[in-house]
Structure 1
Amino acid sequence: MISLLMLLMACLLTCLGQVFQKFTVERWRDQPDGWASKLRSPWLWSALACLGLGLLVWLLVLQRLEVSVAYPMLSLNFVLVTLVARFVFHEPIDARHWLGVALVVAGVVLLGRQV
């Protein structure tokens, strides 16, 4: 059970890091071309913190689970990022994409039985 929770934590941190990356580049559009102001972005540092913490949790997951089970479970990020893209960034998601999300969820459920 703890392995599954850690795996979900790694997924959530990675997803959050990716969302913060999107916020970062959205804010960069309004800034001058220089890197100095871009590197001061709190979204950038938040993204790096989440991705770094996600990596550390992922390493703990790999200590507990076989990589052949754990790695495919990270495909939950695809589902989470799709939901964020649709409901936070208001991006259009077509039926084929939703079908892919459903197939990923089905695969995660099948693999989750091994955890």
Structure 2
Amino acid sequence: MNSPEFGLFLISILASVAGQFLLKAGALKLGRVNVDNWIGHLLSILSTPELLAGLACYGLGAFAYILLLTRVNLSIAGPAVSLTYIFSVLLGYFIFREAIPLSRAIGLGLIVSGVVLVIWKN
């Protein structure tokens, strides 16, 4: 991966992670959805700034990923963007105080190992 490709890769991952963070923050602001309040929640999505910003970040991430796919094989780009999962778990841990059980930590290690193997000397 050369510098422009790596830049697109980084933008795609960071924008997607930012999108996940903002969607979680917006979802916490909305509160729990249930049978009685789901219509109100659907309407609230359109007026919650964090949710709108999160969707915009996802759009930016998708745009960068599409541009990346014009330059890199899907067999490289697809697995590589799975690093988004790593950053999402770390955000959950540090920002939202979510636990990381041992089984999840092992799974994340396997994801990182898999990405390294996929992009190694390509």
TM-score (norm 1): 0.89
**In the comparison of the two structures, how many residue pairs are matched?**
115
Q: Deviations over 1:5-46 (max 9, x none)?
A: 21121011111111111111100018xx42444421110110
Q: Which amino acid aligns with 1:82?
A: V
Identity of matched residues, %: 32
Match for 1:6 among 5, 8, 29?
8
Residue 85 (structure 2) pairs with residue 78 (structure 1): yes
- 1:63 corresponds to: 70
Q: Structure 1 residue 68: deviation in Å?
A: 0.9
Stretches of structure 1 lacking an aligned partner (at least 5 in a row): none
Q: Which amino acid aligns with 1:54?
A: G
- Residue pair 1:9, 1:54 contacting (<8 A) in 2 also: yes
1: CA distance between counterparts of 2:111 and 2:56?
27
Stretches of structure 2 lacking an aligned partner (at least 5 in a row): none
Q: Deviations over 1:36-89 (max 9, x none)?
A: 444211101101110111111011000000111110111101101110111111
Residue 46 (structure 2) pairs with residue 44 (structure 1): no
2: CA distance between counterparts of 1:96 and 1:37?
36
TM-score (norm 2): 0.85
- 1:108 corresponds to: 115
- Residue pair 2:45, 2:52 contacting (<8 A) in 1 also: no
Cα RMSD, aligned residues only: 2.0
